[in-house]
């Protein structure tokens, strides 16, 4: 299916007002694996005929990694620049492809003058399914064992545990839980700007610890909702040489692939 | 008023004065922290406090420890009612002054016995968990000899107090049954009735001596405990309530906004903004020492009872990194005590929380995943301290790991943490 990815600038030029802005994020824009998630989200938006737009080259890092690493200056510089762009387009509602962008835009931009309704892509997919705009049948995942790894910035940070699970359940698959899940979920190891540095000295990598826990369930798929968790879990699965049997997918990819989008 | 009543009164007043003085110092220390106005959302705060502190909702996430803790908690809170009778008896020289309540008194005393048994069992289970089973979280690196002894001492004192309580009741029963003067017939003793068999062979004089000794041991023990608590991790029995009341109500992912930075950034974006007066004190970014933290963060440190649930859930700690959220709280408290003492003695203080107590290696191991915050039974927030210290490392010391400094440069120059140009941001849309 041909992807339709209108930009905010194009919409305004055509006199259209998109109902929602899709905030792609840096990983979703540049990381080869995460770009597949971005495309899956776009296909879902297209299929459900959601009037959306992206900022394209006007988008910039939300500043999340800078803030977590203690660089509040850089974070606020990014935030002010982004807020100028978003407010310039009179954006009301945003969907993000990344829990870190989601958290920052939703919780940290209001203090700096950026007030938007912000949702994570798993929440949007759930809404589209619930409202009947998106029909989902099991497809290739019917009966398959899937475990969901909670991204910290979606789960503990923003108490959203159900949306991704309810979407996965629509696939008629067998959703199994790791012992450490939901509020008790174990981090993949990438948060707090760890993604951009070597881990401190220890006796194990966090993603190996987490992948080990997931693999113990013998799932067909480890599902997640974050491009950084994606990287960490994929590497963790490779560490155990299980990449042949166990696939790591974003919830959006599961839906897009089940619908042959 | 006899001599023993005067001794009791003096002991009692003395113990409470000492306690009040220590509390005053702790309150002063907490107030050394930055101001943070949390007088909002009273109803919501009350609700959280009722659920988490009074209702112990987060304790039972780990059922064994949770239920045992509730036994001690309920026992401790309710049995303190008997303290009222002990105080009146001690001052007035009466014995079981509330005995006139009759059946109700019997019910209360019987309930205390059941609660006391619960406390006794829970304390023994806790000692076994700490010293025989040796649960990992009670033996990690920051649990040096003092924190371990502190915990054992508290449990031992509680066991001794309960033993004294039961011995008091057991001997009292025998004396009551013999109709010894002063020992009025009162109370019901469902537990200590079995224990009293030990004492039936003794003469009434010996029994009175034992009864009086344990009575004095019991009240002296309580007064000692009262003064031990503020020096110990056990101070949570008081601070847990305000600590939860003033805990963070925002989503856990929302990190505090630094107004001081906002002011500077606004100046950069808007040349017409009013700059601060030239003689204004320079602003310090982030926290280097305890007085740079907020009063809530300092109260958090005094509230921590070192249970280690934070550390045992921390992904960095689980995988062998140096970071331990519990150590962050213990270091903050130790440093604050030291800072306060130096202030009192007016000795020059060259140390700081950052570097002298907490190293950058610990701070840079944090994934900001909030597992520690979630795990804390009384809503302590070690993560906020970690971030405030990181802020100081980065914005005051320019002391970020090289890889992160590179990430900052990328975000600043091309709006992404990697070296990709902003102009290429939409390329994915044209890739098959």
Spell out the domains of chain B, with CATH numbers in brackets. 3-30+62-245 (1.20.950), 277-419 (1.10.1060)
What pLDDT digit, counting tens, does each position of A160-187 carry? 999 999 999 999 999 999 999 999 999 9
Tokens 């959306």 found at = A52
Give the distance from CA B251 to its chain's centroid: 23
The residues near A25 (Cβ < 8 Å, ≥ 6 apart) are: A34, A62, A96, A97, A98, A100, A101, A227
Does A30 lie at the interface with B, CB-CB under 8 angstroms? yes
Q: Mutate which of B267, B316, B367, B427 to test chain A, going by most A C-beta atoms within 10 A?
A: B367
**C-alpha to C-alpha distances, A174 to A146, B57, B346, nearest whole angstrom:** 6, 31, 66
**Higher local confidence (pLDDT), A192 or A259:** A192
**Residue B277: predicted pLDDT:** 78
Contact (CB, 8 A) for A128 and A44 = yes
CA angle, B423 as apex, B417 and B427 as ends, to 5°? 90
Q: Which residue has the higher pLDDT, B385 or A258?
A: B385
How many degrees, rounded to 5, is the angle at CA B152 between CA B150 and CA B156? 120
ipTM of the complex: 0.96
Apex B55 CA angle, B50 and B61, nearest 5? 130
Instruction: Please give the mean pLDDT across all residues of chain A.
Output: 96
Minimal C-alpha gap between B123 and chain A (Å): 27
Q: Encode pLDDT of B124-174 as tens digits.
A: 999 999 999 999 999 999 999 999 999 999 999 999 999 999 999 999 999
Q: Check CB contact of A147 with chain B, cutoff 8 Å.
A: no
Rounded average pLDDT over A242-255: 97
Closest to A206 (Cβ–Cβ): which among B315, B395, B411?
Answer: B315
- Three-class DSSP labels, A99-128: HHHHHHHHHHCHHHCCCCEEEEHHHHHHHH
What φ, ψ does residue A23 adopt, rounded to 5°? -85, 110
User: In the 8-state DSSP scheme, what is residue B223?
Assistant: H
Which CATH number is A8-126's, of 3.10.20.30, 3.10.180.10, 3.40.50.1860, 3.40.50.300? 3.40.50.1860
Decide if A81 contacts B422 (C-beta within 8 A). Answer: no
| Contact call for A189 and B315, based on CB within 8 A | yes
Contact assignment for A3 to B429 by CB distance below 8 Å: yes
Residues of B in contact with A157 (CB under 8 A): 251-253, 370
A72, A113, A180: best to mutate for the B interface, most B CBs within 10 A: A72
Three-class SS state of A145: strand
Q: Are B196 and B171 contacting, i.e. CB atoms less than 8 angstroms apart?
A: yes
Q: Is A103 on the interface with B (CB under 8 A)?
A: yes
Check residue B1 and give its pLDDT. 63
Q: Residue B365 and residue A199: Cβ atoms within 8 Å?
A: yes
Contact B320 A202 (CB under 8 A): yes
| Chain A residues near residue B266 by CB distance under 8 angstroms | 80
Chain A residues 211-250 with a CB less than 8 Å from chain B: none
**With contact defined as beta carbons under 8 Å apart, do B58 and B376 qualify?**
yes
Q: Cβ of A30 and B322 within 8 Å?
A: no
Strands (E), chain A: 20-23, 52-53, 93-96, 117-120, 145-148, 174-176, 221-224, 247-250
Q: Which of A228, A236, A230 is nearest to A249 (CA)?
A: A230
Q: What's B29-72 look like in SS3?
A: HHCCCECCCCCCCHHHHHHHHHHHHHCCCCHHHCHHHHHHHHHH
Nearest CB neighbour to A66, from listed B269, B313, B408? B408
pLDDT over threshold 90, residue A246: yes
Judged by DSSP in three states, A247 sits in strand
pLDDT at position B272 is: 81
Whether A7 sits inside 8 A of B368 (CB atoms) is no
- Select from 3.40.50, 1.10.20, 1.10.8, 2.60.40 the CATH code of A135-258: 3.40.50
CA–CA–CA angle B204, B206, B212 (5° rounding): 100
Q: Phi and psi dihedrals of B358, rounded to 5?
A: -115, 125
**Rounded to an integer, what distance in angstroms lies between the CA atom of residue A165 and that of residue A149?**
10
Contacts of B406 in chain A (CB under 8 A): 196
Distance of alpha carbon B302 from alpha carbon B30, whole angstroms: 9
**Which residue in A155, A3, A32 sits closest to B418, CA to CA?**
A32
Which residues lie below 8 Å from residue B209, measured CB to CB, with a gap of 6+? none
Q: Which residues is A22 bridged to in the sheet?
A: A95
A193 close to B (CB below 8 A): yes
Distances (CA, A) of B291 to B336, B356, B372, B388: 8, 15, 23, 12
Where residue B144 falls (left for φ over 0; alpha for ψ -120 to 50; beta otherwise) is beta
Of B253, B254, B393, the CB nearest to A70: B393
Contact A56 B401 (CB under 8 A): no
Strand partners of residue A221: A146, A247
Would you kindly state where each structural domain of chain A is located, as residue ranges?
8-126, 135-258
Chain B residues with beta carbon closer than 8 angstroms to that of A68? 255, 368, 387
In chain B, which residues have their Cβ closer than 8 Å to the Cβ of A65? 407, 411, 417
- Contact: A156, B370; criterion CB under 8 Å: yes
CB contact at 8 A, B298 and B243:
no
**pLDDT over 90 for what percent of chain B?**
89
> Scanning the structure block, which residue is given the tokens 């011995």?
B167
Which of B395, B400, B403 comes nearest A72 by C-beta? B395
- Measured between CA atoms, the residue of chain B closest to residue A153 is B253
User: What pLDDT, on the 0 to 100 scale, is given for residue B276?
Assistant: 76
Q: Could B368 and A184 be called an inter-chain contact, meaning their C-beta atoms sit closer than 8 Å?
A: no
> Residue A170: phi, psi to the nearest 5?
-70, -15
CB pairs under 8 A between A and B: 217
pLDDT for the residue A1: 67
Which residues on A lie below 8 Å from B404 (Cβ)?
A: 69, 193, 196-197
The answer to whether residue A87 neighbours chain B at the CB level (below 8 Å) is no
The per-residue pLDDT for range B71-123, each reduced to its tens digit, is 999 999 998 888 899 989 988 989 999 999 989 999 999 999 999 999 999 99
Token output for A65: 């990694």
Looking at residue B271, what is its pLDDT?
77
Say which of A38, A78, A108 has its CB closest to residue B254.
Answer: A108
**Which residue positions in chain B have pLDDT lower than 50?**
none
Whether A8-126 and A135-258 share one fold: the answer is yes
pLDDT of residue B283: 82
B interface test, pick of A200, A210, A232 with most B CB neighbours within 10 Å: A200
Whole-angstrom distance, CA of residue A99 vs CA of residue A15: 31
């Amino acid at each position: 299916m041909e992807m339709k990815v209108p930009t905010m600038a194009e919409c305004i030029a055509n006199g259209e007002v998109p109902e929602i802005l899709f905030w792609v994020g840096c990983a979703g824009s540049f990381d080869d694996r995460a770009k597949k998630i971005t495309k899956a989200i776009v296909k879902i938006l297209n299929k459900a005929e959601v009037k959306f737009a992206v900022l394209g080259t006007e988008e910039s890092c939300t500043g999340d990694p800078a803030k977590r690493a203690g660089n509040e200056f850089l974070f606020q510089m990014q935030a002010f620049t982004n807020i100028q762009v978003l407010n310039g387009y009179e954006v009301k509602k945003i969907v993000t492809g990344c829990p870190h962008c989601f958290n920052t835009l939703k919780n940290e931009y209001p203090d700096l003058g950026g007030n938007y309704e912000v949702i994570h892509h798993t929440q949007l997919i759930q809404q589209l399914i619930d409202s009947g705009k998106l029909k989902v049948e099991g497809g290739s995942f019917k009966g398959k064992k899937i475990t969901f790894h909670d991204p910290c910035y979606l789960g503990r940070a923003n108490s959203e545990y159900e949306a991704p699970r309810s979407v996965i359940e629509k696939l008629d698959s067998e959703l199994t839980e790791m012992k450490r899940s939901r509020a008790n979920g174990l981090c993949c190891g990438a948060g707090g700007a760890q993604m951009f540095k070597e881990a401190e000295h220890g006796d194990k990598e966090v993603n190996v610890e987490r992948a080990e826990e997931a693999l113990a369930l013998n799932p067909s798929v480890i599902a997640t909702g974050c491009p950084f968790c994606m990287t960490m879990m994929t590497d963790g699965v490779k560490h155990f040489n299980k990449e042949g049997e166990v696939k790591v997918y974003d919830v959006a990819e599961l839906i897009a692939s089940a619908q042959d989008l | 008023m006899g001599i023993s009543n005067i001794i009791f009164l003096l002991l009692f007043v003395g113990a409470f004065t000492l306690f009040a003085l220590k509390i005053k110092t702790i309150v002063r220390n907490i107030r050394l922290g930055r101001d943070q106005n949390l007088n909002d959302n009273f109803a919501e705060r009350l609700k959280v406090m009722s659920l988490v502190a009074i209702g112990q909702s987060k304790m039972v996430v780990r059922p064994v420890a949770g239920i045992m803790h509730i036994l001690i908690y309920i026992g401790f809170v309710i049995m303190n009612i008997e303290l009222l009778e002990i105080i009146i008896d001690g001052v007035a020289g009466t014995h079981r002054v509330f005995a006139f309540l009759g059946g109700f008194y019997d019910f209360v005393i019987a309930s205390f016995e059941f609660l006391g048994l619960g406390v006794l069992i829970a304390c023994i289970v806790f000692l076994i968990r700490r010293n025989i089973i040796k649960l990992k979280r009670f033996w990690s690196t920051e649990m040096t000899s003092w924190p371990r002894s502190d915990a054992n001492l508290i449990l031992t004192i509680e066991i001794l107090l309960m033993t004294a309580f039961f011995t008091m009741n057991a001997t009292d029963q025998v004396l009551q049954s013999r109709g010894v003067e002063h020992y009025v017939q009162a109370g019901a003793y469902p537990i200590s009735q079995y224990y009293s068999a030990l004492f039936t062979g003794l003469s009434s004089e010996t029994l009175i001596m034992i009864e009086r000794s344990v009575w004095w041991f019991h009240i002296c023990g309580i007064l000692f405990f009262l003064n031990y608590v503020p020096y110990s991790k056990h101070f949570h029995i008081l601070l847990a309530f305000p600590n939860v009341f003033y805990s963070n109500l925002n989503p856990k992912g929302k990190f505090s906004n630094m107004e001081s930075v906002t002011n500077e950034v606004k100046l950069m974006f808007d040349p017409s903004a009013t700059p601060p007066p030239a003689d204004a004190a320079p602003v310090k970014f982030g926290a280097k020492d305890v007085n740079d933290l907020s009063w809530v963060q300092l109260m958090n440190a005094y509230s921590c009872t070192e249970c280690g649930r934070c550390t045992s859930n921390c992904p960095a700690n689980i995988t062998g990194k140096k970071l331990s959220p519990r150590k962050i709280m213990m270091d903050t408290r130790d440093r604050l005590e030291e800072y306060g003492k130096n202030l009192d003695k007016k000795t020059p203080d060259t140390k700081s929380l950052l570097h002298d107590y907490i190293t950058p290696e610990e701070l840079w191991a944090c994934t900001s995943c909030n597992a520690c915050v979630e795990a804390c039974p009384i809503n302590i927030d070690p993560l906020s301290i970690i971030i405030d210290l990181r802020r100081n490392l980065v914005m005051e010391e320019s002391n970020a790991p090289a890889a992160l400094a590179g990430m900052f440069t990328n975000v600043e120059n091309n709006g992404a943490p990697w070296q990709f140009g902003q102009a290429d941001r939409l390329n994915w849309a044209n890739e098959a």
